Amino acid sequence: MDINQIAQMAGVSRATVSRYLNDGYVSQEKRATIKRVIDQTGYVPSRQAKTLRTGKTDVVGIIIPKINSASVSRMVAGITSVFNDTGFQILLANTDNDAEREVGFLRLFTERHQVDGVILIGTVFTPEHLAAIKALRVPIVILDQNLPGYPCVHQDDYDAMRDVAEIAVAHAKAPGYIGVLEDDVAAGKMRHQAFLSICADHGIEVPGDAQAIAAFTVDAGYACAERIIEAHPETDALVCASDSIAYGALTYLREHGRRVPDDVQVTGVGDAEFSQLVTPRLTTVHHHYKTSGAEAAKMLLGLMTGSGTVPREIKMGYEIVERDSTR
């Protein structure tokens, strides 16, 4: 079944069917006839043909660092909530935190016109990233990082970490920190700097071996907590850069007879669902990840349709959620 057969069955010209499919002017009578034929036959226009005709794919590329991340899943949920009713399809590209693969997807979207726009949930920006982003022929919105010169929606990582760390450090003499690689400016560098800033405000100097770098996993949190406590048994607070890291720290402390929060306080970032289910319930930061995804989608939609052409930056708010893992 093709457009010529639809035109013949409807008793109209091929051009009339084409105008109908592209929302051009068609009389009400002919529009109703064409719709009836399409409904009866189940005809679906060729996406490839439409792309060749209009230069548009009606596809949005979403590049994500990790498919099983609670924060990423919330951001993707926000993105899809906007695009589901717009006629755009989503092409999801998972990089498994592989920077080269991330650059590869950006180049793929550049070399082959497969998408009309890109949302990149960013972690690191290498020179290769910046070159690939600059070479894109379609609009891009950066989500969860702040990249000057480009439309961005990001979290207030520095202030949020200062506020949640303050809760623990205010009642601690020997706090430790479990962070992530600082190539990730938001979750790594900003959160670490905020922790050190709060400690300095309280006149506390944190030894280097009381600060550890972990992956965003429970196992990594467990291993880093073990190293810190073995090096500094007097540690009375562990401030963690993510909830999953904090879950690992809680597990280590429980298995080694350390009471939380009486002996050691623990904080996280993210307010994932399990933060209310672990024992004790985790004090953490609630970032509005789903809303930030929706805002990024709206921003990209504006850029693709021409209603928003000036690069914008949105810094999201946050909430501190005090539970049972701090005093």
Q: What angle do helix axes 3-10 and 28-41 make, rounded to 10 degrees? A: 120
Say which CATH number the domain at 150 has.
3.40.50.2300
Query: Which residue is associated with the tokens 């009713």?
Result: 85
Residues 89 and 180 in one domain: no
d(CA 134, CA 136): 6
Is residue 327 situated within a structural domain? no
Total tally of structural domains belonging to the chain: 3
Residues 142 and 164 in one domain: no
Question: Quick check: 112 pLDDT over 90?
Answer: no
Residues 184 and 238 in one domain: yes
Q: How confident is the model at residue 52 (pLDDT cuts 50, 70, 90)?
A: very low
Is residue 74 situated within a structural domain? yes
Contacts of 155 (CB under 8 A, 6+ apart): 144, 186, 287, 292, 315, 316, 318
Is residue 53 situated within a structural domain? no
Least confident of 4-13, 134-143, 198-207, 214-223: 4-13
Is residue 322 situated within a structural domain? no
Mean pLDDT score, 53-58: 64
Cis status, amide bond into 261, omega within 30 of 0: yes
Convert the pLDDT of each residue in 64-109 to its tens digit.
Answer: 999 889 999 999 999 999 998 888 899 999 999 999 999 999 998 8
Least confident of 7-21, 134-148, 175-189: 7-21
Is residue 51 situated within a structural domain? no
Residues 64 and 126 in one domain: yes
Residues 116 and 261 in one domain: no
Residues 147 and 198 in one domain: no
Is residue 323 situated within a structural domain? no
Prediction pTM value:
0.82
Residues 237 and 298 in one domain: no
Q: How confident is the model at residue 310 (pLDDT cuts 50, 70, 90)?
A: low
Least confident of 21-25, 226-230, 246-250: 21-25
Residues 207 and 140 in one domain: no
Residues 264 and 247 in one domain: yes
Convert the pLDDT of each residue in 160-169 to its tens digit.
Answer: 999 999 999 9
User: pLDDT higher for 51 or 279?
Assistant: 279
Residues 72 and 11 in one domain: no
> Residue ranges of the alpha helices (H) in the chain?
3-10, 14-21, 28-41, 47-54, 70-83, 99-111, 127-135, 157-169, 191-201, 218-231, 243-255, 289-305
Residues 97 and 142 in one domain: yes
Residues 73 and 181 in one domain: no
Question: Quick check: 47 pLDDT over 80?
Answer: no
Furthest CA-CA distance within the chain: 85
Q: Which domain holds residue 24?
A: 3-45
Is residue 325 situated within a structural domain? no
d(CA 180, CA 187): 7
Is residue 29 situated within a structural domain? yes
